[in-house]
Structure 1
Amino acid sequence: MASAGHGTMSWWFDLRAKPGSPFRGDAPDVMDRLRERFGHWSEPLPTVLVHAQTAQFSPHYGHCVPATWGRDPTTLMGDAAHTMSPAMAMGRVQALEDARALSRSVGDLRGYERTRAKIVRRVARFAGRKIPAAGDR
């Protein structure tokens, strides 16, 4: 949940979908799917879902974090190297940690990549974990 300005709030719900699947946030059943998946959670989520009329779909993708993020004198950091679900601002925090590690590894870019890849893999796995449905718990 975050302020969206003008007295409104932005709420975050996450549903898994396969790349290329027809699922879209403006599909007629998206609110039904959200209510079914999250409607039994603690308040205020059920109330929010009762009153919400539409949802915007913003896809994000998880991928395996590679060991090497660059070649020669070039490397990547942040989402360019390791995408994250926007949950819990982990991507932003990991980008800041990348910057710190990179500043300490000038001259050893592959060392920076190896060090960060180990950590980022664990964080990405945690951020992308499936939360079990009520019947699965």
Structure 2
Amino acid sequence: MREGKVKVVGFKDGGEEECDLLMGADGVKSVVRKALFGEEEKFGPKYSGTSGVGGFLTTPLPSSVVDKRAMVFTFGRNGFFGYSSGGPPSTDSLMWWSISGTDSLPSRQNLDRDEIKAKMQKRHANAADPVIRDVIAKADVDSVYPTWVMPDLPHWGENGIVLVGDATHALSPTTEQGVSQALEDAQTLSLLLGDTLKRAYGSVPPEETASPAEQEKDAVAVSLKLLYNIRALRTKAIAERGRRMDRPKTKMSAAQEYSMYCFFWLMMRFTF
């Protein structure tokens, strides 16, 4: 990316586009974030210590899923297993996933599918749920999905570059907030830009000492600063909640496991 009066963004196919504001909504391994912060490791994604496998299995759906339209979650000392309908009941499609803690980041380039499946079967070998036993016996494992999180960034944008979504605050899948928070980022930014640009060109008379281009640049800078001030605390709180929720998905001691069971029992017993 080259900078001047406008941003010039280059693409792999050799094409280029000019823009006044570049929004990086390009995920946890964001290229735009590198353009903003550089290659320093402290600004990059961190492996959370958990990875998942999953997929779809053609099999009759259990009544708990069909009758109650339920998603079934099972927590254990060695990880987590979940399943739900992967389509209309008539399709007999069961969606399943298994998440567990791993000592090192799995390599997709050197993925041993048989080994990954064997480890999954070992983790859930003593599952009481017959659906889980059926899945781990029949399902194929095609890939592994590491979970990434983002460190707190000092800001989300400056000099006509801004980050939104996973590019700036990758959240644990457990929170189920990744897409929602990205949409909140985009809506907040659009409202801020609308207001600050209106003030620069609309109902508020322009400053006599600033050119229209300078006023626009100042309006964008104010919007990016306000976006961070408005959104950062909210997404940080969600990220911290996700880390707490992820703990039962990793390896636990016997004491931690039974403490978890007691917590779930109390939650179900006294939730109205």
TM-score category, normalised to shorter length? 0.7 to 0.9
Higher normalized strand content (fraction of residues): 2
* SS state at 2:183 partner: helix
Query: 2:157 and 2:128 mapped to 1: Cα distance?
Result: 43
Query: 1:18 and 1:62 mapped to 2: Cα distance?
Result: 16
**RMSD of the TM alignment (CA)?**
3.2
5+ residue gaps in structure 1? none
* SS state at 2:184 partner: helix
Amino acid at match of 1:64: P
Alignment deviations for residues 51-98 of structure 1 (CA, whole Å, 9 cap, x no partner): 223242123311213141111232111112122333453211111111
Q: What is the total number of aligned residue pairs between the two structures? A: 137
5+ residue gaps in structure 2? 1-83, 197-222, 258-272
Query: 1:41 and 1:83 mapped to 2: Cα distance?
Result: 34
CA contact (8 A) 2:105 2:146 kept: no
**Change in CA separation of 1:85 and 1:55 when aligned onto 2, cut-off 3 Å:** farther
**Equivalent residue for 2:155, pick from 61, 68, 73:** 68
Query: 1:21 and 1:75 mapped to 2: Cα distance?
Result: 31
Q: TM-score, normalised by structure 1?
A: 0.72
Name the residue aligned to 1:28.
114
Q: TM-score, normalised by structure 2?
A: 0.41
**Change in CA separation of 1:125 and 1:46 when aligned onto 2, cut-off 3 Å:** farther
Amino acid at match of 2:100: L
Identity across matched positions, percent: 21
Flag the structure with more relative contact order, 1 or 2, with Cα contacts below 8 A and sequence separation at least 6: 2
Name the residue aligned to 1:12.
97
